[in-house]
Amino acid sequence: DTGVSQNPRHKITKRGQNVTFRCDPISEHNRLYWYRQTLGQGPEFLTYFQNEAQLEKSRLLSDRFSAERPKGSFSTLEIQRTEQGDSAMYLCASSQDRVAGELFFGEGSRLTVL
């Protein structure tokens, strides 16, 4: 059973550098989501895709953040000019194309900005 895969699992970077995370969803899922989770908090919605279309973006997603899902398969989340406040766990999830469908999460990519 191939679940949601995220890479890298951990990333340590210096402030001002760019980072990119990759998410490979469950193959038959056409919806893909990005969330951010900080210590002691629940996942905060960032954005989601239906196939290759980005349908909604949170106001949390500043112009330093960009997400893509070319060809409706894997997705990337890029953070430019990282800041210490970007340190968090970045979670990817996918779901079937049913409004009541539950989310299947990857194990997350932890970002530490020094």
Contacts with other proteins by CB under 8 A lie at 4, 31, 33, 35, 40-45, 48, 50, 55-56, 91, 93, 95, 99-100, 102-108
DSSP 72: G
Least distance between other proteins and beta carbon 33 (Å): 8
**Cα gap 27→39, rounded to integer Å:** 30
DSSP 91: E
Query: Could you tell me if residue 108 is left (phi over 0), alpha (psi between -120 and 50 degrees) or otherwise beta?
Result: left
Least distance between other proteins and beta carbon 81 (Å): 27
Cβ proximity to other proteins: between 33 and 65 the closer is 33
Least distance between other proteins and beta carbon 49 (Å): 10
Residue 103 CB neighbours (<10 A): 17
**Cα gap 59→72, rounded to integer Å:** 23
Cβ proximity to other proteins: between 48 and 65 the closer is 48
Cβ proximity to other proteins: between 82 and 106 the closer is 106
Least distance between other proteins and beta carbon 15 (Å): 26
**Kind of pairing between the strands at 88-95 and 104-105:** antiparallel
Cβ proximity to other proteins: between 31 and 79 the closer is 31
